[in-house]
């Protein structure tokens, strides 16, 4: 969902860290997440943007918008509403600590930044990206990690009752 907001902000030439502009944009935005034909789809204003939200630029924009309290409050409300209506698995950087702190099962997945960057680079190349390199993907990943861990509202951290799963190897 944060990627969807970041993507829309970029597409409208809105700076992802401009809280007033992003909040105004978000008030006029409909974000949906649905499961169709065996895959998850993320829709913004009825348009499937699933294939466009995993680029390095959108990753950075997602990190920027996720630090904005107004955006976080709006999207967390949607996430909690979805979770209240059905059993599901959610992934995100604050699901176990902020979005659903009372969830019965919590896993904190981690891997070395270099390994995550390697995986993301392969994912991008599989989707047809040509002008991406490992150093750039790694730098974006480290930027996002630092920003998300250091944000004031709902920072990236492991919930005390989450099972740690290191997938590096």
Q: 23-45 pLDDT, tens per residue?
A: 999 999 999 888 888 888 999 99
The 3-state DSSP class for residue 70 equals helix
CA distance to 21, 57, 99, 109, per residue, from 27 (Å): 10, 23, 20, 32
Q: Decide if 59 contacts 121 (C-beta within 8 A).
A: no
Contacts with 37 (C-beta within 8 Å, 6 or more apart), sequence order = none
Full-model pTM: 0.78
Q: What would the pLDDT profile of 35-88 be if each residue is shown by its tens digit? A: 888 888 999 999 999 989 988 889 889 989 988 999 989 999 989 988 898 888
């Amino acid at each position: 969902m944060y990627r969807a907001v970041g993507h829309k902000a970029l597409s409208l030439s809105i700076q992802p860290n401009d809280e007033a502009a992003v909040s105004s944009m978000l008030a006029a935005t409909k974000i949906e997440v649905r499961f169709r034909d065996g895959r998850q789809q993320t829709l913004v204003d009825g348009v499937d943007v699933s294939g466009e939200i995993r680029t390095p630029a959108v990753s950075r924009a997602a990190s920027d918008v996720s630090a904005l309290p107004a955006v976080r409050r709006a999207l967390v409300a949607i996430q909690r509403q979805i979770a209240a209506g059905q059993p599901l698995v959610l992934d995100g950087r604050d699901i176990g600590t902020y979005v659903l702190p009372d969830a019965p099962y919590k896993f904190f997945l981690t891997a070395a930044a270099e390994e995550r960057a390697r995986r993301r680079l392969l994912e991008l190349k599989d989707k047809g990206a040509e002008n991406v390199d490992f150093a750039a993907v790694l730098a974006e990943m480290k930027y996002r990690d630092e920003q998300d861990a250091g944000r004031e509202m709902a920072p990236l951290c492991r919930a005390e009752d989450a099972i740690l799963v290191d997938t590096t190897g």
